[in-house]
Structure 1
Amino acid sequence: MVVIVLTAVWDIALPRARPSYEMAWIQAIYARKETAAARIAGPKVVLIGGSANHFGFSAEQIGREIGAHVVNLGTHAGLGADYILARGKRFLKRGDTAVLALEYHLLQASPPTDIASSFVSMFDPRYIAAAKAAEIPRFVWGISPQRLLSATVQRTIPYTSPLYRTETVTELGDETAGSNEEITLAMRAAARSYTPIQPLGLRSDRPLPSISSFVQWAHANGVIIKYVWPPIVGRSAYATDPRYSELFSTIRDTFEGLAVTVLGQPSDFFLGEDELLDTFYHANQRGRLRMSNQLARVLDPRAKDGEPRIGAGAVVPSARAIFP
């Protein structure tokens, strides 16, 4: 009884506590992005993934180039594929197109991270009902008093970074930060130091359960699903090391085995070092422009460089008309 009472008190008090800047940022950009998705009455294209999606693509630019309503629902890869996909379902409806741009490590099974457990316990307890039974305790007691105290102390220090600010996110969920003026010498040095990702031991006959269930749900509910390679800094090993050829082939086989169209090639979405922001998955404004154009081209080959196919005030065609 003591445990039950303390848990109830903790869960009631937790949403009223001050979150860390990171948790507050995730919640605020989710609110902005989901408001945009809910506002669109007709079919739309929804970009789903972590921060590689958030920083790497511009929904506004892609929408102009392909002539469709597009929303950027990318957030934080630390939330994990299970949560990101479950949350994406809430704002998809029949006739929509979901473009999955999940970071490579999200395709591999892993337990909930501290970011996911903290965020769910503070902002989205409704997700706990859909979580795996073994993971429920992690979400119920997702943030310790020590971490909450640390977040409280952190919030007494003014936040001065130009990055990870809600005000730099547009109404369509696009990030606008990342100009050359915001890229420090340390960021440029880091861009040159990033090593290739680990060649994950994925199997095409064993897709992540949350991906399989998401695809099954989408097919049953008239939602079109496509997979696109996430933006990431390019490395020569991806072309020369056979382990990466095997990885990319496995990922393609996995999604095609689920009847999901795979868009383009991994190399289409390799970023140059001069296109990076603060991590190997985050594009700056220059990289975001090129990645968005690449995605527009593989979504609709009729799209041209930065040139909308419909004029101002024209009726945007339905997603089904563009993506049969």
Structure 2
Amino acid sequence: MEDLLAKKTAMLASCNEEKIVLLGGSSVLYGFNTDEIQRRLGKPTFNAGVNVGLGFRYLLDHVEPHLKPGDHVLLPLEFNQYTNPMYYVFGFGIDTFVHREYWKNCRKYRRKGKLLLISLKHARSSATPEKLARRKVATLTETGCYLGLDTQLRDPATLKAIPFPETFQETDTMKEIAAFMTRCQANNIRVTLLPPVFYAREVNTAYLEKMYAYFGETISPELFRLEASEVYDSVYHANQAGQMRVTNRLIEQLEEPQNRKELNQI
């Protein structure tokens, strides 16, 4: 994960032109073909998706220094991103086990003992032959997206449902997202908040309406919702068919901004 984050940071740092940046977790990584977006729109486009478990602020610490006036940042953030801590379990793991800077940065993290246990458990479960082979199948392109995942590795019926709070409540991460959007506006960087690429049998529509209203947006969470046949191996991971469909839908929205309202109502 640290290697993936470093590659994506280097991509952004190397671009001196105005660019489109898709920022988020693995639903961005798997869900949007930024090679195709770049080809169709004729503008440098980068997929900065890594993993929702880093925490929004951890990802931002690496990405925001490479944003410049004239850039357009798209935020198709996973629903969990809004409620997770700003610095979360995988950021904690990278700081602790890779950078060895845990004690230097330990004030970032809450419930550090629990994060340590989750990090160790995940490291063990991620090292299985099946998961190692799965990661080798994906091709990371020069724009930062995964291509070539033309299969379906998990039955969608076996996936855990996305957890939604019963009622809306402002979180520290929501405040951080709003502050980021304000900073970007002040620096002539355009930001578009979008729903994530996801699969779910049920969603808490009332909660999501209030959450997006918090940011002054009217967004349909259905915009990039996956069909069962379009799931790769997670509720936030699209296979090639799903990626192609939602990428085309995003391109349509970027090509014709006046159609955004109609698209959100689909």
Instruction: Work out whether 1:292 is the aligned partner of 2:263.
Output: no
Larger radius of gyration: 1
Consecutive unaligned residues in structure 1, runs of 5 or more: 1-25, 239-243, 303-324
Name the counterpart of 1:135: 109
Picking from 164, 167, 180, the partner of 1:199 is 164
Query: Is contact 2:85-2:172 (8 Å) kept?
Result: no
Residue by residue, what CA displacement relative to the aligned partner does 1:130-157 show, whole Å, maximum 9, x if unpaired?
A: x684638949xx858x949x969x97x8
Picking from 213, 229, 248, the partner of 1:274 is 229
Name the counterpart of 1:168: 139
Per the alignment, in what secondary structure is the counterpart of residue 208 of structure 2? helix
For 2:171 and 2:62, the matched residues in 1 are separated by 25
Query: Is contact 1:233-1:273 (8 Å) kept?
Result: yes
Equivalent residue runs for 1:303-314 within 5 Å: none
Q: CA deviation at 1:51?
A: 0.5
Identical counterparts, % of pairs: 23
Equivalent residue runs for 1:41-56 within 5 Å: 41-56=16-31
Residue by residue, what CA displacement relative to the aligned partner does 1:32-65 show, whole Å, maximum 9, x if unpaired?
A: 2222222221100100000011111111112223
For 1:278 and 1:122, the matched residues in 2 are separated by 27
TM-score, normalised relative to structure 2: 0.80
Instruction: Work out whether 1:73 is the aligned partner of 2:48.
Output: yes
Q: Which runs of 4+ in 1 moved over 4 A?
A: 123-129, 136-139, 157-160, 204-207
Name the counterpart of 1:21: none
Q: CA deviation at 1:209?
A: 2.4
Per the alignment, in what secondary structure is the counterpart of residue 290 of structure 1? helix
Q: Which amino acid aligns with 1:72?
A: N
Residue by residue, what CA displacement relative to the aligned partner does 1:228-274 show, whole Å, maximum 9, x if unpaired?
A: 10011142x44xxxxx2312211321222xxxx66x62112110110
Q: Which amino acid aligns with 1:199?
A: F
For 2:24 and 2:101, the matched residues in 1 are separated by 20
Distance 1:71 1:250, change over 3 A: same
Picking from 35, 44, 54, the partner of 1:60 is 35
Instruction: Work out whether 1:220 is the aligned partner of 2:186.
Output: yes
Moved more, 82-91 or 104-113: 104-113
Q: CA deviation at 1:84?
A: 2.0
RMSD in angstroms over aligned alpha carbons?
3.5
For 1:119 and 1:166, the matched residues in 2 are separated by 24
Distance 1:136 1:273, change over 3 A: closer
Per the alignment, in what secondary structure is the counterpart of residue 270 of structure 1? coil
Residue by residue, what CA displacement relative to the aligned partner does 1:70-125 show, whole Å, maximum 9, x if unpaired?
A: 10000011111221233221221111111112110111153754322111234457
Equivalent residue runs for 1:1-324 within 5 Å: 26-110=1-85, 112-123=87-98, 133=107, 135=109, 138=112, 147=120, 161-165=132-136, 168-180=139-151, 183-184=152-153, 187-188=154-155, 191-194=156-159, 196-200=161-165, 201-203=167-169, 208-235=174-201, 237-238=202-203, 244-256=204-216, 265-301=220-256
